[in-house]
Amino acid sequence: MDAFLFQVLAGLATGGIYASLALALVMIYQATHLVNFAQGEMAMFTTYIAWSLINAGMPYWPAFLLTVGFAFVLGVLIERIIIRPVEDAPVLAVVVVFIALLVILNSTAGWIYTYTIKSFPSPFPKEPLFGIRYMSAHEIGAICVTLVVLSLLYAFFRFTPLGLAMRAAAQNAQSSRLVGIRVGWMLALGWGLAAAVGAVAGMMVAPIVYLDPNMMGGILLYAFAAALLGGIDSPMGAVIGGFAVGVLENVLGAFVIGNELKLTVALVLIIGVLLVRPSGIFGKVHVTRV
Amino acid sequence: MTKRNLLLLALLLAVACVLPFIVSDYRTFQLTLVLVYATALLGLNILTGYNGQISLGHGAFYALGAYCAAILMDQAGAPYWATVPAAGAVCLVAGFLFGLPALRLEGLYLALATFALGVAMPQLLKYDHLAKWTGGVQGIVIPKPEAPFGLPLNADQWLYFFTLAVTIVMFVLAWNLLRGRIGRALVAIRDQHIAAEAMGINSAIYKSAAFGVSAMYTGVAGALSAIAIQYVAPDSFGIFVSIVFLVGIVVGGLASISGALYGALFIQFVPNIADEISKAAPWAIFGIFMIGFVYLMPTGVAGATRLLLAKRRKSP
């Protein structure tokens, strides 16, 4: 029972990270109906920026905030420069552009920082917090940071005029344009926010999986699985899906199938959800008109 | 096919036959790989270019083909030439089966599911309980085939001609498949699947069959690559193989048979040149080319050549 509890709690910690990345995916999906294959690499790249800043002697939290800001700018720029021209292109073209982005970010990181694995500092103390022996301080901290980010986002979308405008632009671009919302910029802002959320996820996961240009491959897959499980158009679903996938991955990995096939769990989950309930648990069912 | 095209093809074939005698063994090996990639790209093009189903996981079928060939040779002592059709058959079935659930997935979702397949494949190959056959992380080493019947060819040259023969057969088959009723049905499903169904095309059968045939081509290419490289290991079949194939069909030209050849030349030789700059450079260049082609030349090299030829014909 002890071991089980341990795995569940560890699963919640990684699940929080999947939840953040899944949320970033969902934000972009809601605004543009695209699944950003480069989300993981964007998070990886910004985590390297944080690493550089910290190595240059900056204290952790200023570096953290600066990185989030940088990620936001990066996201906005990517939307404006690279995604904009293919907005109305066929799906294949968009997928190719996303994959190209993934490859470019991956190789640029490899080019600048080499492919050697680096350790990334955790802002949280080494010894367990409050004498909880089931979770390390970093795991608890990561969950807290995730929850803070989620509530900030919720508050932003729920209570600010800008958040309302962004939701409107995502839901009905044409009508939003008619009431004077600059839909193009709302999309760019959405990309920026998603990149910022991804950066937080990257910085939280880096102390666990270590920093290297390919660190996000598996995590992105879990984030996909989480977003699909919760419903790709439901932010709340993405968060719950993230935690569920984290726990599922850890428990199955520890007790049922072993660590080697963890990625296959994500594969089976993705295909399973898409087959049984493509809209996910909390998503809306879409009906297309002929 | 016009007379001119036939003449061009004969010329191309003649060049292909002479090349291994004038270039070094290493170049011959590289050309063998070009043929292997061309077959794989043709397979992906049947699915993505002609039928409009996006696959980001064809590296998985490539791996499956390669492992089929390697395991058959390593465990069952099968001759190398027999493993190629066997790998094709296995991948045909595997592709068809994967194509069945894929029927319910469109566009982005299919890309997602196949992406997951591509990412998960190396782990499956490393799986402990399969290690008896797959050799686990170490992979399998295969002996190099020698030229039969006392032909005056060295092993590299023989491999080249063997691969060339298979590639030609595969290209002729694809050409035959795509120019007729089936090819038109595939394109119709891609462009307007509702209209296609209204015309009496069984979209489900065609789509899963396209998946199967496409996987078969890629599997055959995988088997050929295993024979040519004489080695298979899980880590050489990561998601990046699938991405390389995608680069190949985008650069070569979607929905074009000759595009497979252009794409293969691109993915074989461009990284070699770029490698001299930096280890990461080939990928950066791949990425830039992908974006560039999508923006500027969406029909790829094949489409651009077609356009150029048509323009020249118009203005004498």
| Residue ranges of domains in chain B | 25-237
Residue-level pLDDT at A74 = 92
Q: What is the pLDDT of residue A46?
A: 92
Q: What is the CA radius of gyration of chain A?
A: 19
As a whole number of angstroms, the distance between CA A21 and CA A264 comes to: 19
Length of chain B: 316
Note whether B294 contacts A: Cβ–Cβ < 8 A. yes
Question: What are the distances in angstroms from CA B85 to CA B69, B78, B80, B223, B242?
Answer: 9, 12, 10, 9, 22
Which residues of chain A have a CB within 8 Å of the CB of B113? 270-271, 274
pLDDT of B113 reads 83
Place of tokens 């009496």: B200
Confidence at residue A132, expressed as pLDDT on a 0 to 100 scale: 62
Q: Does B295 touch chain A (CB under 8 A)?
A: yes
| pLDDT recorded at residue B149 | 76
Whether A86 sits inside 8 A of B294 (CB atoms) is: yes
Chain A hits for B117, Cβ within 8 Å: 267
d(CA A174, CA A180): 10
Q: Which residues of chain A have a CB within 8 Å of the CB of B246? A: 96, 99
CB contact under 8 A, B104 and A89: no
B contact test, residue of A45, A267, A275, A279 with most B CBs within 10 A: A267
Helices (H), ranges, A160-261? 161-171, 173-178, 183-209, 216-230, 235-251
Tell whether the model's pLDDT for residue B233 goes beyond 60.
yes
Query: Residue A133 has what pLDDT?
Result: 64
Q: Tell me the shortest Cα–Cα distance from B42 to chain A, in angstroms.
A: 17
Say which residue, B29 or B148, is predicted with more confidence: B29
% of chain B at pLDDT higher than 90? 9
The span from the first CA to the last CA of chain A, in angstroms, equals 54
Test B48 with A228 for CB contact under 8 angstroms.
Answer: no
Write out chain B residues lying below 8 Å of A221, CB-based. 115-116, 119-120
Q: Supply the mean pLDDT for chain B.
A: 83
Residue of B nearest to A90 (CA): B107
Tell me the C-alpha distance between B13 and B246, whole Å: 26
pLDDT of residue B29: 86
CB proximity under 8 Å: B 88-117 to A: 101, 104-105, 107-109, 111-113, 115-117
Q: Do residues B222 and B62 touch, judged by C-beta distance below 8 A?
A: yes
Amino acid symbol at A231: G
pLDDT of residue A264: 80
pLDDT at B98 over 60: yes
Which residues from chain B sit within 8 angstroms of residue A225, using beta carbons? 116
| Token duo for residue B263 | 């794409």
Record the tokens describing residue B167, joined without a space: 């590639």
pLDDT in tens, B62-89: 999 998 888 888 887 778 888 889 999 9
Interface size, chain A vs chain B, as Cβ–Cβ contacts under 8 Å: 129
- How sure is the predictor about B37, in pLDDT bands with cuts at 50, 70 and 90? very high
**Max CA pair span of chain B:** 66
pLDDT tens-digit profile, chain A (290 residues): 677 888 888 888 888 888 888 888 888 887 777 888 888 889 999 999 999 998 888 888 888 999 999 999 999 999 888 888 887 778 888 888 888 888 888 888 888 888 888 888 877 777 666 656 667 778 888 888 888 888 888 888 888 888 888 888 888 888 888 988 888 888 888 889 889 988 988 888 888 888 888 888 788 888 888 888 888 778 888 888 888 988 888 888 777 776 677 778 888 888 888 778 777 777 777 666 66
Q: Do B280 and A274 touch (CB under 8 A)?
A: no
Q: Which residue of A has its CA nearest to B195?
A: A290
Contact A280, A224 (CB under 8 A): no
* pLDDT score of A129: 61
Banded pLDDT at B215 (limits 50, 70, 90): very high
Q: Specify the 3-state DSSP secondary structure of A15.
A: helix
Our CA-based measurement puts residue B74 at a distance from the nearest CA of chain A, in whole angstroms, of: 24
Chain A CA closest to residue B49: A92
Query: Is B22 touching A (CB cutoff 8 A)?
Result: no
Could you please report the per-residue DSSP string of chain B? --HHHHHHHHHHHHHHHHHHHHS-HHHHHHHHHHHHHHHHHHHHIIIIIIT----S-HHHHHHHHHHHHHHHHHHS---HHHHHHHHHHHHHHHHHHHHHHHTT--HHHHHHHHHHHHHHHHHHHH-GGGHHHH-GGG-EE-PPPPPSTT-S--HHHHHHHHHHHHHHHHHHHHHHHHHSHHHHHHHHHHH-HHHHHHTT--HHHHHHHHHHHHHHHHHHHHHHHHHHHTEE-GGGGSHHHHHHHHHHHHHH-TT-HHHHHHHHHHHHHHHHHHHTT-SSHHHHHHHHHHHHHHHH-TTHHHHHHHHHHHHHHH--
CA neighbor of B58 nearest in space, from B73, B72, B46, B71? B46
Tens-place pLDDT, residues B256-284: 888 888 888 888 887 777 776 666 677 88
For B160, the 3-state DSSP assignment is helix
What pLDDT sits at residue A9? Answer: 82
E-assigned strands of B192-247? 231-232
Q: What percent of chain B has pLDDT over 70?
A: 96
Q: Which of A95, A105, A221 to mutate to test the interface with B (most CBs of B within 10 A)?
A: A95
- Contact B116/A85, CB-based, under 8 Å? no
Is 70 exceeded by the pLDDT of residue B302?
yes
| Closest Cα in chain B, distance from residue A108 (Å) | 7
Q: How far is B225 from chain A (nearest CA, A)?
A: 24
Contact B123 A107 (CB under 8 A): no
Q: Which residues of A touch B295 (CB under 8 A)?
A: 85-86
| Cβ–Cβ contact B297 with A under 8 A | no
Mean pLDDT, chain A, integer? 83
| Mutate which: B283, B288, B296, B299, vs A, most A CBs within 10 A | B283
